[in-house]
Amino acid sequence: MNLITLSILFLFSSTTYAQESVISQLSKQELELINKNEFVIKETKIKDRPWPEVTLYSVINASALESIALFSAFDKQKDYIPGLLQSSVVKQVNPVEIHTQYKMNMPWPLSDAVYIHGSVLGRLKKNLSSYYLKWYLVSSNVHRSVKGEAIFESYGKKTIMRYKSLIHPKSVFASLIKSTMMKDLKSSLMATKEYIENTSTKQRVTTNKYCKKVLDGLGGKFVW
């Protein structure tokens, strides 16, 4: 098997992802809530972890492509996420995988977080007009491990987002600030939702720029 064939197989396997419909994971009452522009948040306690796995559902008033494109506009995140001091792409591993360096202001008694996340972009196999982004920890001064994903599923002219995150912090004080972590996470995702909706409506040049990055990356081009 030559290198070209291996590359094609890698891109196919890493950019399509089998996933049951996000809508099917929501009850009628939960779907009604997100249609009212509210968040549905679920927590799953993980053994020996101070923070739970958090899953959040929301409807975004933008297309799935616009939503994933602006969600993954990594160099823009510092401009709208509360407490985020730095976000810059530092490495492109392959067309759909990059490393982004962050600096985040953390609540006392934690030190400011300086970390690098790797992220992988792809489409859902059952719906190629829907997308996902998975991320993992490369390095951090405050985290032992990080694992997360965001799925953007077409929902008429809108998008249903499912955001899932499991963070294992290093600090012995982490369990004491669980409520602060949850509040900050919700604030960050509210800011992200607002950024996607406002930018897709009012800043078409920016939106088109990042949509092109997504499509070019999925097409095998290095765009970062």
Q: Using one digit for the tens of pLDDT, what is the confidence trace for 192-202? A: 999 999 999 99
**Six-digit token string for 17:** 């992802």
Look at residue 70 and tell me if it is in a domain. yes
H-helix or E-strand spanning residue 218: helix 204-218
> Helices 204-218 and 178-202 sit at what angle, rounded to 10 degrees?
110
- Pairing mode, strands 53-60 and 143-155: unpaired
In the structure, what pLDDT confidence band is assigned to residue 149 with cuts at 50, 70 and 90?
very high
Look at residue 68 and tell me if it is in a domain. yes
Look at residue 157 and tell me if it is in a domain. yes
**Six-digit token string for 163:** 């955001």
In the structure, what pLDDT confidence band is assigned to residue 106 with cuts at 50, 70 and 90?
confident
Share of the chain above pLDDT 70, in %: 89
Look at residue 12 and tell me if it is in a domain. no
111 vs 53, higher pLDDT: 53
pLDDT at 147 over 90: yes
> What is the sign, positive or negative, of the torsion defined by CA atoms of 203, 87, 146, 182?
negative
Look at residue 15 and tell me if it is in a domain. no
**What is the structure's pLDDT at 16?**
59
CATH number reported for the structural domain that contains residue 201 in this entry: 3.30.530.20
The residue range of the domain holding 199 is 49-218
In the structure, what pLDDT confidence band is assigned to residue 80 with cuts at 50, 70 and 90?
very high
**What is the structure's pLDDT at 120?**
98
Look at residue 9 and tell me if it is in a domain. no
Look at residue 3 and tell me if it is in a domain. no
Is the pTM of the predicted complex or chain greater than 0.85? yes
**What is the structure's pLDDT at 64?**
97
Look at residue 131 and tell me if it is in a domain. yes
For residue 69, what is the DSSP state?
H
In angstroms, the CA 200 to CA 62 distance is 7
In the structure, what pLDDT confidence band is assigned to residue 7 with cuts at 50, 70 and 90?
very low
**What is the structure's pLDDT at 26?**
92
Instruction: Give the residue ranges of DSSP H helices in 159-203.
Output: 178-202
128 vs 103, higher pLDDT: 103
How many structural domains compose the chain?
Answer: 1
In angstroms, the CA 213 to CA 157 distance is 21
**What is the structure's pLDDT at 6?**
35
In angstroms, the CA 214 to CA 199 distance is 16
Mean predicted confidence (pLDDT) in 31-59: 94
In the structure, what pLDDT confidence band is assigned to residue 108 with cuts at 50, 70 and 90?
confident
- For residue 200, give the nearest of 159, 147, 172 by alpha carbon: 159
**What is the structure's pLDDT at 12?**
39
